[in-house]
Structure 1
Amino acid sequence: MADAVQRKSPPAERPAHPFANSKNLVVVVPDIDVEEEARLYDELCDAAEGDTIVRSASPQSAVGAPSIFSNDIWLGESTGQSAGFARDVQISGWNSVGDKREGAYIVYDCAISTKEGSAIHVHKRYSDFAALHARLRATLPQYQQRFLAAMPPKSPLSKFRPTFLESRRRLLEHWLSSILLHPDIGGCQAVREWIMA
């Protein structure tokens, strides 16, 4: 037994951090002073309304900069402001333009009320709505494309029937409202150009 080698037990290891093997950014924020964070949040909200930058206790902390309590929380990413300019959207009616034998078409009267209280009337064909839909699909980021409603279907055989036109008017009004009243999509370049064209 003298020749027996004494084996040492391995030293007690510290338990591993639960996210030690994570490749994603995980930050554990220690003991936040909730009252101080609420005060900072109120100051930043007031600053966003006045378009001024408020410096907090940290010289590197400001609107659009990390919070003084964590380098990973960005307070300026979303101000809650809508980029859209429309307050209400209605398609009040339609008109047939031209002679049916010569290639008549339907024009929809779009009445858009702005946030400032003025009204914009634009006259658009179904093909104009389809062109806007295609442009939004081509230019919007992938995460915003899920907010685009489906376009109302075409129906070449009944395109001049009043019941079909009334149904299409309601569907186009819903579709256009979902675009113009969306807080991110409603003010994009494609929409503004479509309104002004």
Structure 2
Amino acid sequence: MASPRTSSAPSPSPSPSHPFRNTTGLLVVLPDKIDVEEESRLYDETCDDQDAQASRASRPRSPQGPPSIFSRDIWLGDNSGESRAFARDVKLSGWTNVGDKLGGAYIVYDCVIRTKEGTTIHAHKRYSAFVELYEALRRSLPRHQQHFVPALPPKSPFARYRPAFLDRRRRQLQYWLSAVLLHPEIGACQAVRFWVMD
């Protein structure tokens, strides 16, 4: 006797469910209107926090102990006795054009150096003076300290009188001079002191 045949009807498809049915986190519904300025501020804060965390995570250890101020691979002392550098702050406040462009004009940068004692020194230097200091440091520093001296920004004879170029070079030279003068050992060397006082 044949057994009764049962028809295998397709099972009904599951009804569409709510997309957040299994969500366990907090669901925040955004209002129709978004405050663009607030969003921009939150984005900037988030980026700043991530940059600070990345900087702390990738920071190498100083051979002299934990750094108080950190700039790439240069440890800058906090003037509590560990640093022998005489400078506390370095800025290039601006530049001026000296002479006539046809008759041999050149650019002079105003290097504002504040010492640990609070004295402010204005040293007016041409780009060639930075090159001279760089070469003097390469000659006089021990080999294990030479890598702390960053490369100088390159020369650009065709753009040297353009304000945008000069402002970019001013910022690059300020970074370079800060790295040299604020370094706890290099900032105290004789070549640096001669350069500042010359």
**What TM-score do the two structures reach when normalised by structure 1?**
0.59
Q: Provide the aligned C-alpha RMSD in A.
A: 1.1
Aligned residue identity for 1:174 = Y
Aligned residue identity for 1:113 = R
Aligned residue identity for 2:178 = S
Number of residue pairs matched? 119
Alignment match, 2:131: 130
Point out where structure 1 has 5 or more consecutive residues left out of the alignment. Answer: 1-78
1:89 aligns with 2:90: yes
Alignment match, 2:145: 144
* 1:129-187 deviation per Cα after TM superposition (whole angstroms, max 9, x unaligned): 00000000000000000101010110000000000000000000000000000000001
Alignment match, 1:182: 183
Point out where structure 2 has 5 or more consecutive residues left out of the alignment. Answer: 1-79
* Partner SS state of residue 85, structure 2: coil
Alignment of 1:1-197 (within 5 A): 81-197=82-198
Aligned residues with identical type, % of pairs = 61
* Partner SS state of residue 113, structure 2: strand
Deviation >6 Å, runs of 4+: none
* Partner SS state of residue 122, structure 2: strand
Structure ranking higher on relative contact order (CA contacts 8 Å, 6+ apart): 2
Aligned residue identity for 2:108 = V
Aligned residue identity for 2:123 = V
* 1:14-72 deviation per Cα after TM superposition (whole angstroms, max 9, x unaligned): xxxxxxxxxxxxxxxxxxxxxxxxxxxxxxxxxxxxxxxxxxxxxxxxxxxxxxxxxxx
* Partner SS state of residue 186, structure 1: helix
Aligned residue identity for 1:92 = S
Whole-Å separation in 2 of the counterparts to 1:129 and 1:105? 14
Aligned residue identity for 1:128 = A
Of structures 1 and 2, the larger Rg is shown by: 2
* Partner SS state of residue 117, structure 1: coil
Displacement after TM superposition at 1:120 (Å): 0.4
Whole-Å separation in 1 of the counterparts to 2:126 and 2:152? 13
Whole-Å separation in 2 of the counterparts to 1:127 and 1:83? 26
Aligned residue identity for 1:112 = I
Structure with bigger helix share is: 2
Whole-Å separation in 2 of the counterparts to 1:190 and 1:126? 17
Displacement after TM superposition at 1:80 (Å): 5.9
**What TM-score do the two structures reach when normalised by structure 2?**
0.59
